[in-house]
């Protein structure tokens, strides 16, 4: 399940859900990278999945602690800062555009971009608006576009909740047959 469209840091966290993980295989993660191609400059290629998993864990810890009003763990902050240091961004004016270039290998560039997105989320005004999905057993996060949004995806968890509610309502009102 590839669910994208949230801020990049949340999309990274949402690569792992209750029943799966897009970082289980290079092919699954490449599909996720392809879905993010408009937001990432790192090419879709082989990357060190263990390094991405470690960064995702650090982002998860930072977001959880910050959402709860606490200070993220020092080790998680160090992991984000290390990713940023390994492939710092430098802007270059190529008229009329500004290009962002990074040193480092493909994995270092990708980690730096993901860490940068996490820093933007953690230090920006939207962190307090991040919500967890109200779907039973769903672990995904989202930034609601409107205050009434409750699910990571209306088509996924929202539909499941509505179907379950419909089933309960109609089965509760169905007459039970008695053996004669």
Residue 164: pLDDT band with limits 50, 70, 90: low
Cα separation, 79 vs 55, whole angstroms: 7
Cα separation, 11 vs 22, whole angstroms: 11
Q: What value does the mean pLDDT of the chain take?
A: 88
Percent of the chain surpassing pLDDT 90: 65
Residue 43: pLDDT band with limits 50, 70, 90: confident
Report pLDDT digits (tens) over 140-154: 999 998 888 888 887
Q: Which residue has the higher pLDDT, 66 or 155?
A: 66
Q: Are 25 and 2 within 8 A, CB to CB?
A: no
- Cα 178 to Cα 83, 171, 172, 174, 175, distances in angstroms: 67, 16, 16, 13, 9
Mean predicted confidence (pLDDT) in 116-127: 96
Residue 166: pLDDT band with limits 50, 70, 90: low
Q: In the prediction, which pLDDT does 177 show? A: 53
């Amino acid at each position: 399940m590839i669910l994208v469209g949230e801020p990049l840091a949340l999309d990274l966290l949402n690569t792992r859900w209750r029943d799966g993980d897009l970082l289980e295989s290079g092919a699954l993660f490449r599909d996720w990278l392809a879905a993010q191609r408009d937001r990432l400059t790192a090419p879709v290629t082989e990357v060190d999945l263990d390094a991405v998993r470690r960064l995702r864990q650090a982002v998860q810890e930072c977001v959880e602690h910050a959402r709860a009003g606490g200070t993220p763990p020092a080790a998680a902050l160090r992991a984000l800062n290390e990713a940023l240091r390994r492939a710092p961004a430098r802007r270059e004016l190529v008229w009329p555009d500004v290009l962002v270039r990074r040193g480092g290998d493909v994995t270092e560039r990708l980690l730096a971009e993901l860490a940068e997105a996490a820093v933007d989320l953690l230090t920006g005004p939207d962190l307090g608006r991040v919500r967890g999905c109200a779907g039973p057993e769903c672990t995904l996060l989202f930034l609601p576009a409107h205050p009434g949004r409750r699910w990571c995806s209306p088509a996924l968890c929202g539909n499941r909740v509505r179907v379950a509610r419909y089933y309960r309502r109609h089965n509760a009102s169905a007459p039970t047959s008695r053996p004669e």
